[in-house]
Structure 1
Amino acid sequence: MNDLLIKNELGTSPIATARSNDPVGAHDLRVTNLDPAVRIAIGTEYMVGLDDGTNMIPRTCTAKAGTNATFTR
């Protein structure tokens, strides 16, 4: 399981953390344990990558339920 960091669209500010069993490069990255989930909105673009700030990929949140979400490339 990967620990992930979710940043704003420009990648300049951390917004949330999450975990995922999917590879970071997956087309649809499904995450769990989104914290804080309230800061993530469907249809909004984010930079999502490993919690050390590497492999940041621009993604759009395409689904969200509680602390679970899907980010699509």
Structure 2
Amino acid sequence: MGKLITFILAIAVTAGVAYYALSKAPRDSEPEGETSQAKRQLDNVRGAASRIESDADQRARELEQKMGGEQQ
């Protein structure tokens, strides 16, 4: 009977400690001022997309100038 009560108390204490640890865990472990790797990667992708779009616009303008110049 003593072993059963000890076992039940041990489980209750373990569950209580686990609940406390999970409920009090920091939600955002990232310090302020630092960006996460995912955010940096997204910013890099946005920058690359912007450069690609600018290059495509420039090539389209150059092609338009060439085509317009030949027809006149």
Normalising by the residue count of structure 2, what TM-score does the alignment of the two structures yield?
Answer: 0.16
Normalising by the residue count of structure 1, what TM-score does the alignment of the two structures yield?
Answer: 0.16
Structure of larger gyration radius: 2
